[in-house]
Structure 1
Amino acid sequence: MNLLSVENIAKSYGERTLFSNISFGINQDQKIALIAKNGTGKTSLLNIITGNDTPDEGQIVSRNGIHIAFLPQEPNLNPNLTVEETIFASEAPVLKVIHNYENALKNPEDTDAYQKAFEQMDIFNAWDFETQYKQILFKLKLDNLDLKVDKLSGGQKKRLALATILINKPDLLILDEPTNHLDLEMIEWLESYFAQEKITLFMVTHDRFFLERVCNEIIELDNGQLYQYKGNYSYYLEKKDARMAAEAAAVEKAKNLYTKELDWMRRQPKARTTKSKSRIDDFYVIKEKAHQRRQEHTVQLEINMERLGSKIIEFHNVSKAFQQKVILDKFNYSFQRGERVGIIGKNGTGKSSFLNLLTKNLEPDAGKIIIGDTIKIGYYTQSGIGVKPEQKVIDVIKEFGEFIPLTKGKIISAAQLLERFMFDRKKQYDYVEKLSGGELKRLYLCTVLIQNPNFLILDEPTNDLDIVTLNVLEDFLLDFPGCLLVVSHDRYFMDKIVDHLFVFRGEGQVDDFPGNYSDYRSYEDSIVPESSQSEDKKEKKNWKKDANSALSYNEQKEYSRIERDLKKLAEQKEEMEAKFADGTITPDKVNEASEKLQKVLDEIEEKELRWMELMEKMED
């Protein structure tokens, strides 16, 4: 059953066209995700569908009587109400049913009204409404029902708005980045809730695990055109690759035909027959196809990095508490070169405080933190970039210099660097306050990276970034030779980037887990809860050896690092051998190039030997 139809809509802002002639439908029980680059019209499309904006052309047609709910990124709640009052102030049909039933109880003589109200209570499953909404609030960590909205943090307000919508059970739920401000436990609960409930969803999200596990259809807005994929995120990736390959082949075919037809056009006499005029018309169609270009403009990251010395960052018996709340308790750790650590834990367990201790924005109560002389920290915080009134995008970068150093001794201008971060020349002279949330995050990321850090700290870097930018950022971080410390609720991102995890459990307990997030979830799911077996607590803490491996914890980290290093060395070897094969190396550079190649070959041999040693140990 169709709930809502988008019919031939268009939207422009001045000379900029976001999309035109867009059409699609949303049917009952579909779970649809909208994917697009930042700034290409995702939020505008959501606002049009929900009636918060109007299209320049076309219309939105919804089924009579359906209840549509919208969760924006910044919800608008009454600041004077409590958490519980907010639930009852909503326009949920179930609340009207409960109200009618309470009125019927006051007038028992009206048996027809009572019978109808009783039946409606059954239909809406309203008998245990209080239990239902309290369960949802509990899952979203909103336990204090008497707390006023104006006392809530931004994340708590987002969760309260989400809870209100879930409790209302609308016919169609429209969501703009629903997983922002949720910790991993909440995200996984919401995933499970959406996967099990018979609910119709239309959402914008960058959370690729969420897309994979919840959605059964993906709509992509790409260069103003709409493409629909009847499947989850994996299916979308597969079919998009096939579409891109087919488009490239079609353009190549058109180019070949265009060359042939262009020659024919040049040889034609001025007087032309009807038949030749038809061919001329076809020529211009072919010409347009042959000159078709995709506006990819992906981020290109080639920022320089300061040299790393032998001493990185060391924690020696570090303790920190805020009154009775213990964050760290005699924490010891020494970071190694090239280490890639993910930080996970429930909200309030001390993740941000840990980063502030590391960056000297917070002093420990006891112990000491030693930072090596060569360490240059780049800190990407959740607070983002500070927007100055009437400051233009290019002025933000020029504060770091007119020219920026890249790898291999190259330099580029501030304008060229911004182009690599997908800010075209026109956008560079826009005021910063006009940028979208995703564009602000991209600009902020640029300012962090151009300072050439060798110890990079990223606190929720994926919020508001589109999937295209996320993929490029991931590729950059995989090649980043320095140390990396990441706090993120994006499980897909964490799986791809980190080698091991600091798990913040609260009360000063920080466990070091040798694996990525999926490894951690598998481990957690495989053990019996502490309440049912006392020995499990000991097992949970004893992560120095994996259940299926004879390797020590440090050996497991070394094994992961060697595999990554071997991949990079193999790529270097292929690149250098290709230069020898195609003759691009000048005679005076042959000896130098040969020495470099031999050095790479020796390093590969050394790492392969160590890799084999560790493999044999695992098999024992």
Structure 2
Amino acid sequence: MHYVSAEGITKSFGAGDLFKNISFHISEGDKIALIARNGFGKSTLLKILAGRETVDDGGVWINKDVTVALFEQEPKFDENKTVLENIFHTNHPIIAAIKEYENAIELNDEKKLSAALIKMDELNAWEFESSVKQILGKLNIHHLQSNVSELSGGQRKRIALAQTLIDIGFEHKHTLLIMDEPTNHLDIEMVEWLEHYLSQQHVTLLLVTHDRYFLDAVCNEIWEIDNTKLYTYKGDYENYLEKKAARIENEQANIDKARNLYRRELEWMRKQPKARTTKSKSRIDAFTETEQKAKQKIVDAQLQLQIKMSRLGGKIAEMKKVYKSYSDKVILKGFDYTFNKGERIGIIGKNGVGKSTFINILQGIEEADSGKINIGDTVVFGNFSQQGLVIKEDMRVIEYVKTFAESFPLAKGGSLSAAQFLELFLFPPEKQYTFLSSLSGGEKKRLQLLTVLFRNPNFLILDEPTNDLDLPTLSVLENFLLDYPGCVLIVSHDRYFMDKLVDHLFVFEGDGDVKDFPGNYTQYRLEEKKAVDSSQMKDNRRKAEPATNIQPTVSKKLSYKEKREFELLEKEIPELETEQKLLTEKMSGNISFEEITSVSERLQQINTLLEEKEMRWLELSEFAS
């Protein structure tokens, strides 16, 4: 089923084209990643498909049976309403029933809960309520009565994500889900859950993401906007890089041929008299076309830099018996570590465990409750924070950079002017006189990185550096950091970025416990999985042994909601098992290809549901007896 068709669409911004005369189609089940440098039209194209912006030329057709859901980088809410009201904003009976149910639980109102339970039963809304509960739990969304205006940027992003997933999950059979950087402000566990959720759902998807592991897990096609054109590539990110390199090589060969022909034709043009024949006029027209091809430039600009790092002495930094708490929340509990030259350390942990507080304490931005932090005399910190650009007033890009320095010293001698330095960071002369307020989110991030490096730091601290940076800039930043001779401390949820750069990890496990793991993120996850599997095996063996000397345990009493859930599970599980058996028998019979496809999809859904519901039944059954 065709969802979207675009024919010859063009969109300009200011004096230049973002994309010109591009065409594409999106069909049911497509999962597409959109790549382009910041400011080249990714978000604009997403908004056009969502009906938020219009094209300058060409046409976009969207199937009348298709609903388009847009998840934006900057979510919009009704600021006067609660989290609950914003998440369950759709005026639909099932959504309204779940909203009333969640509200009654949050307020602990028995009367409202009783009425909500009756309505949930009448609408058979329990299965969808289970899905809603999973989404809210995995995204760590609680305190539904809080006003959204009081929330942080990360909390708002997670609420917007929950709102989008709930909207597409309950009603719309044919939905095009458009997502602009959905993994920003999620911790690694949330990213992995979302990755699994989207790959399992039968959803048609178009997304912009900088997370290459996420991209490969969720998408099977890549689109790239480059030099106002749209290029499509089937396969993963590595295949895209290979195919793009081959395309650029081929385009360069064609330009070189055009240049050779242009030189010959230019000579002919200069020798021709003013009065020309019809035959020569056609050659003149061909010359004009050749000239355009010959003067093409393949812009594959990349951030390139050889930094003259401030000299780093023998003593770097030392933290001894450092403690930090906020009332009853413990961040650090006797943390000890001595930093060495050239170390590359990654910091991981759930949101709110104190990662940003830790790097602020190291730099002296925040004070520890007790302990010693000794910093070497030669250490110059370069802090790339989540706060972004800090500006007192709007000014032009070049003026802003010059507030730090007029020139930048290079490792091999000499220096660059502020304008030349900006060009290395993909800010051409015409962009340097743009006001800061007009830059895209990614361009502001790139400018922020520039100002950090402009000070020649020898200890870089990068707090979520990958948010809002485009993939081409990220790739070059990685290469720069691999050659960087100073210390690097990285807080990031981008697993690919961490795997490529760090030697070991500080794992913030909560309650002030910080584990030093010798390896990158993927190695850590493998070790963690082995530990979990080993623990489960021990538990299984323990259960298989004769029960001797069993100590009485304190029983947990099920809440009214949990009792109701347990009763429904005992009804739902046999029904699913019966349907599973019938569909399995149907698969072995003589059915058409279309039926095989639909039956296979339903079987997969049932298997997933059964696994989830059986695990939940086991959990509740321990306390139900």
Name the TM-score, length of structure 2 as normaliser.
0.78
Question: How far has the Cα of 1:65 moved from its partner?
Answer: 3.0
Aligned-residue offset at 1:93: 8.6
Alignment of 1:431-442 (within 5 A): 431-442=435-446
Match of 1:176 among 156, 159, 180: 180
Q: 1:217 touches 1:229 (CA, 8 Å); kept in 2?
A: yes
Match in the other structure for 1:284 = 288
Query: Are 2:32 and 1:28 aligned?
Result: no
CA distance 1:192–1:82, change in 2 (3 Å)? same
Point out the more displaced range, 468-477 or 82-91: 82-91
**Deviations for 1:43-64, whole angstroms, at most 9, x for unmatched residues?**
1111211111111112221111
Q: Deviations over 1:258-309 (max 9, x none)?
A: 3333344445555555444433332332222222102333222223211111
Q: What residue is the counterpart of 1:60 in the other structure?
A: 60
Question: In the alignment, which residue of structure 2 is the partner of 1:514?
Answer: 518
Query: What is the aligned partner in structure 2 of residue 138 from structure 1?
Result: 137
**C-alpha deviation, 1:455, in angstroms:** 0.5
> Where does 1:12-27 land on structure 2 (aligned, <5 Å)?
12-27=12-27
Q: Verify the 8 A CA contact 1:7 1:23 in the aligned structure 2.
A: yes
Matched-pair identity in %: 55
SS of residue matched to 2:505: strand
Q: Deviations over 1:553-587 (max 9, x none)?
A: xxxxxxxxxxxxxxxxxxxxxxxxxxxxxxxxxxx
Structure 1 runs (4+) greater than 6 angstroms displaced: 96-99
Whole-Å separation in 2 of the counterparts to 1:394 and 1:271:
51
- In structure 2, relative to structure 1, the CA distance for the partners of 1:527 and 1:401 (3 Å cut) is same
Structure 1 unaligned residues grouped into runs of 5+:
100-116, 536-620
**What is residue 75 of structure 2 aligned with on the other side?**
75
Alpha-carbon distance in 2 for matches of 1:337, 1:528? 35
Q: How big is the shift at 1:253?
A: 2.1
Q: CA deviation at 1:530?
A: 7.7
Q: 1:478 to 1:256 in 2, by over 3 A?
A: same
Judging changes above 3 Å, is the alpha-carbon distance between structure 1 residues 94 and 260 closer, same or farther for their aligned structure 2 residues?
farther
Structure 2 counterpart of 1:403: 407
Q: In the alignment, does 2:310 pair up with 1:311?
A: no
* 3-state SS in 2 of match to 1:175: strand
Choose from 190, 195, 200 the match for 1:191.
Answer: 195
Equivalent residue, structure 2, for 1:166: 165
Matching of residues 366-385 of structure 1 within 5 Å: 366-385=370-389
Match of 1:532 among 536, 540, 552: 536
Displacement of 1:147 after TM fit?
2.8
User: What TM-score results when the alignment is normalised by the length of structure 1?
Assistant: 0.79
Confirm or deny: 8 A CA contact 1:500 1:514 kept in the other structure: yes
Per the alignment, residue 479 of structure 2 pairs with: 475
Contact 2:394 2:435 in 1 (8 A): yes
Superposed, 1:4-403 pairs within 5 Å as 4-90=4-90, 95=95, 126-169=125-168, 170=172, 171-268=175-272, 272-403=276-407
Measure, in 1, the Cα distance between the counterparts of 2:400 and 2:253: 41
Distance 1:471 1:92 in 2: 45
Contact 2:98 2:129 in 1 (8 A): no
Kept in 1: contact 2:388–2:448 (CA 8 A)? yes
Q: Any conservation in 2 of the 1:98–1:121 contact (CA below 8 Å)?
A: no
Which SS does the other structure have where 2:532 is aligned? coil
**Deviation by residue 1:24-51 (Cα, 9 ceiling, x = unmatched):** 1111111111111111111111121111
Deviates more, 1:476-485 or 1:395-404: 395-404
Task: Give me the whole-angstrom Cα distance separating, in 1, the residues matched to 2:484 and 2:72.
Answer: 35
CA distance in 1, matches of 2:367, 2:529: 36
Relative to structure 1, the CA distance from residue 91 to residue 468 in structure 2 (aligned partners, 3 Å threshold; closer, same or farther) is: farther
Over 3 Å counting, the alpha-carbon distance change for 1:299 and 1:221 in structure 2 is same
Taking a change above 3 Å as real, the CA distance of residues 16 and 320 of structure 1, as seen in their structure-2 partners, is same
Distance 1:269 1:94, change over 3 A: farther
Distance 2:214 2:179 in 1: 13
Helix, strand or coil at the partner of 1:527: helix
The Cα of 1:473 is off from its aligned counterpart by: 0.9
Letter in 1 for 2:10: A
- The Cα shift of 1:224 comes to 0.3
State the alpha-carbon separation in 2 of the partners of residues 401 and 146 from structure 1. 48
* AA aligned opposite 2:78: N
- Kindly report which structure 2 residues correspond to 1:550-565, keeping only aligned pairs within 5 A, or say none: none
CA distance in 2, matches of 1:465, 1:249: 31
How far 1:390 sits from its partner (Å)? Answer: 3.1
**Which secondary structure does the structure 2 equivalent of 1:409 belong to?**
coil
Amino acid at match of 1:69: A
Distance in 1 (alpha carbons) for counterparts of 2:270 and 2:529: 71
Q: Given the alignment, which residue of 469, 493, 516 partners 1:465? A: 469
2: CA distance, partners of 1:439 / 1:130: 41
Query: Please, which moves more after superposition, 264-273 or 281-290?
Result: 264-273
Shift of 1:193: 0.7
TM-aligned CA deviation for residue 145 of structure 1: 2.9
Amino acid aligned to 1:17: D
Letter in 1 for 2:521: Y
What's the C-alpha RMSD, in Å, of the aligned pairs? 2.4
Shift of 1:454: 0.4
In structure 1, the residue corresponding to 2:22 is in which secondary structure?
A: strand
